[in-house]
Chain A
Amino acid sequence: MTLAPSPDVVERRPNRFLGILRALLREPIGCTALVILTTVLLLALLAPLITQYDPLFQDRRAVLKAPSLAHWFGTDDIGRDVFSRVLYGTRISLLVGLLVVTFTMIIGGMIGLISGYFGGWTDMIIQRIVEALDTLPSLVLSLFIAAMLGPSVRNVVIAVTLAQIPRFVRVVRSEMIKVRAQDFIAASRVIGASSLRIMLTHGVPNLIPTMLVMGSLSFGIAIMTEAALSFLGVGTPPPNPSLGTMLAQGTRFIGIASWLIVFPGLMLTISVLALNLIGDALRDVLDPRRR
């Protein structure tokens, strides 16, 4: 269920986001998750200031060194600093997540709006395509697309976005159908508002809460999928650090250098957990039935 639509709500949009943030901070789980995510974000953004090591530089005199003061998370099998690689790898994960969520919201949101608003044949054709895509598990679909396009960050973003779009389309469409049935939509039509104007001025603002929840959950899924694709060798190409690639490489040394999988694994787990908890908290904050 969405917030009650009203022109007032649209006009007070800036305050609304602050309101959501305040409500989120009042939720213990949401607040904790937000703090964790902010920390992860700062670590990733400020990586060049936090670590002195180039994540690609191979110190060949320090191969497979255990965590120490010199190398907080140890070094990998060709002497690269794991702490540095985890931070830069998190950057790539967050970048992929951000781009995927942005593109998914824009593309999936637009298709869902059109499908829900116009209905009829337009809706039927879009939904059959979406259903066809939905029959494939999103990871399999991403894997297929990424394998076809070849390993690169750009291709990972394309693969994960395409796999996430159907979910957005379905949710946005169903919300738009509800909004379309409201009296103010009929009133807008009567005074001559175009379909585009109705969708943008009445549809989009009423879909924001749903999109926020979906976006935070998709962010986590995108990070996990990027890691999975990199783990399987079709994601972020070497030598760029990626949490998934680091996990794949670390499995060879699990018995003798556990730090190679523990730290990337922890960072991945913490990031995705924080995003999922924020998604849950947002749902609680924004859903009147759960208040």
Chain B
Amino acid sequence: MTRHFTPPTRAARFARSLLAGALLALPLAATAQETPQYGGLVRINVHADAPNFDPLASTEFAVHSRLGLALSQLVAWGTGPDIAYGEFVPTPSLAESWEISDDGLTYTFHLRHDVVWQDVAPVSGRGFTSADVVATYEAMRAGGVQGGLLSAVDTITAPDDYTVVLTLSSPNVVLLQNLAHQNMWILPTEAFDGGYDRNTTVIGTGPFILTGDEAGVATTYVRNPTYFGHDAAGNQLPYLDAVEITPIRDLNARIIAFRSGQIDIWFGPLNLTQMAQIQAQVPGLQDIQTISNTQTEMYLNPAFEPFSDIRVRQAINMAIDRMAMGEVIRGGGAVGGVVGPALSTQTLPDDERIALYGTPNPERARELLAEAGYPDGFTFQFTLLNYGEEMVREGEWIQQDLADIGITAEINIVDRAAGMALGREGNFEALYMVMSPFAEADEYLSTHYIPGAIRNYAGVDDPELTAMIEEQRTIGDPAARQAMLWDIQRYIAENVQTTLPGWASLLLHPAHARVHGWHPMMTQGFPSLREVWVSE
């Protein structure tokens, strides 16, 4: 049976919002009950300038976080108080609904009829059609940096002005998420036929119109009066009159700007100590915390003899007290997993993840070492990639945990590039690093456990595991796929046990009290900004 997706009605969305509002904590409940107000300006810091505005030329966060305000995708990440930071809820954007064929090989998207391009020459407010989608995706496939996201797509056709059909050569359940990726912005056909320069001009269908960009000063936006989006109550979005993105490179300067109110919404790295200092000086600060979509991870190279025995790898896993480590060093977060905890619907449930990776058992670890022929332990070189002080601290913590079971870890700190090279060459005994930010379980699995994959530094080559990873990509039913993903993670914990997950730290997203409706999301482009409003 063909699977259909149609968005909930406004009444249903309104009811869902009310339900979600009722679940909010008391401090937030007062805010949720307030009526959004139109007008005002919000300023966000992004700690780099955009070198250009061509979405096909670069994957830089500085580019795409800015483009997200002015452009739209076919399918978007849902946002809201009931959606977690790393949870992908496919939400209609330029496509108001879609159908997936039973064999999973044909995706039919029905486009909105009420979308017009921003009133910027040469497009000048013309209507949005399927030709724009086809032109964009074909250009991406031909030479865009995001072309790989469409690698599963065989043909892209437009039967009429408001329908787009994608056919696949083999089923791929992550296609929708790929289309909602932070680099998959839809541009007008004029962007590809020489109508304007994509590097300098931004014309989109998003909630804000980019009006200026001065390097080192600000990127400025005003409200797009013809934006197609509405809130749950049917009010036209966005609420804000204007947005400014301020590039401040220096961390201390950013903190000072935030404290003094020159920045309303914080974006970027911030640790708990810095947060505590800001909180002491900014009354009513919104302390929004999420779990990072990255985590530390420890590669054990089986080429180093002791690590070729899974009992030794199990022993190391059991020796590390990750829960205490995360609380003491990172000030909170979540124990890591084969799939990171930020992907709350795809990672193993918390209890099970904690049982596998957050419950140290040094006695059993010593027994395993003895069974493997290392009753007196051994010494290995523990290479740490230099991601900063907290990373070094985690290394020191693990060193003491391993010393407790008789294993001596000699810490060797290397810079990131050198460490990556060691990983690729397999020239290490144990490597401790931070995982790339991933937004899908398939990315975790296919980069770490498929032979020859980019992050398979430990050289995992398990045919049964490979088959399981390939199979999960074809399972369209979300519940069945989740079960399969969990089985894969359990299999890895029992039979592979490298890479060992570490800790996913807290991400801090403070915002001033005057800002309402702000929900940070893992994907770039500030998708919840269209529903942000300010109370003064």
Binding site for B on A (CB under 8 A): 56-58, 60, 63, 77-79, 150-151, 233, 237-239, 248-249, 252-253, 255-256
Contacts and interface: CB of A to CB of B under 8 A. Distances in A.
Given A151-B413, A239-B411, A255-B273, A58 B389 contact: no
A63 B142 CA distance: 56
B356 interface: no
Contacts of B271: 252
Contacts of A79: 328
Contact of B400 (A58, A63, A151, A253): A58
Contact of A60 (B276, B328, B393): B328
A77 B329 contact: yes
A252 B411 contact: no
B324 interface: yes
B393 A77 contact: yes
B273 A78 contact: no
Given A60-B328, A233-B413, A249 B389 contact: yes
A248 B392 CA distance: 12
A279 B475 CA distance: 77
A253 B414 CA distance: 24
Contact of B411 (A57, A238, A248, A255): A238
A150 B418 CA distance: 11
B413 A78 contact: no
Main secondary structure on chain B at its contact with chain A?
helix
Given A150-B414, A237-B413, A239-B411, A252 B389 contact: yes
8 contacts: A63-B328, A77-B328, A78-B397, A238-B395, A238-B411, A248-B389, A252-B389, A255-B273
Given A58-B397, A252-B389, A238 B413 contact: yes
Contact of A255 (B277, B386, B412, B413): B277
A60 B397 CA distance: 10
Interface string B383-397: 000100100110111
A58 B396 CA distance: 9
Interface in B255-297: 271, 273, 276-277
Nearest to B324: A60
B89 to A, nearest CB: 36
B399 interface: yes
Contacts of B276: 255-256
Contacts of B396: 58, 78, 238-239
A248 B389 CA distance: 8
Given A239-B399, A252-B273, A256-B273, A78 B411 contact: no
B30 to A, nearest CB: 31
A237 B413 CA distance: 7
Nearest to A239: B396
Interface of B: 271, 273, 276-277, 324, 328-329, 386, 389, 392-393, 395-397, 399-400, 411-414
A253 B328 CA distance: 13
A238 B393 CA distance: 9
Contacts of A150: 412, 414
A252 to B, nearest CB: 6
Contacts of B329: 77-78
Contacts of A253: 273
B206 to A, nearest CB: 39
B110 to A, nearest CB: 53
Given A58-B397, A58-B400, A233-B386, 4 more contacts: A60-B328, A78-B396, A238-B413, A252-B273
A150 B384 CA distance: 12
A255 B400 CA distance: 28
Contacts of A78: 328-329, 393, 396-397
A221 B411 CA distance: 27
Nearest to A255: B277
A56 B401 CA distance: 12
A20 to B, nearest CB: 43
Contacts of A77: 328-329, 393
Pick the 10 closest A-B CB pairs, nearest first: A239-B396, A58-B400, A238-B392, A255-B277, A63-B328, A238-B396, A252-B273, A151-B413, A249-B389, A238-B411
A160 to B, nearest CB: 19
Nearest to A151: B413
Contacts of A57: 400
A150 B414 CA distance: 8
Contact of A237 (B277, B324, B393, B412): B412
Contacts of A60: 324, 328
Contacts of A238: 392, 395-396, 411, 413
Nearest to B390: A252
Contacts of B324: 60
B328 A237 contact: no
Contacts of A237: 411-413
A150 B389 CA distance: 17
Max chain A Cβ within 10 angstroms of own Cβ: one of B329, B389, B397, B399: B389
Nearest to B277: A255
Nearest to B392: A238
A204 B411 CA distance: 43
A239 B413 CA distance: 11
Contacts of B400: 56-58
A154 to B, nearest CB: 13
Nearest to B400: A58
A234 to B, nearest CB: 9
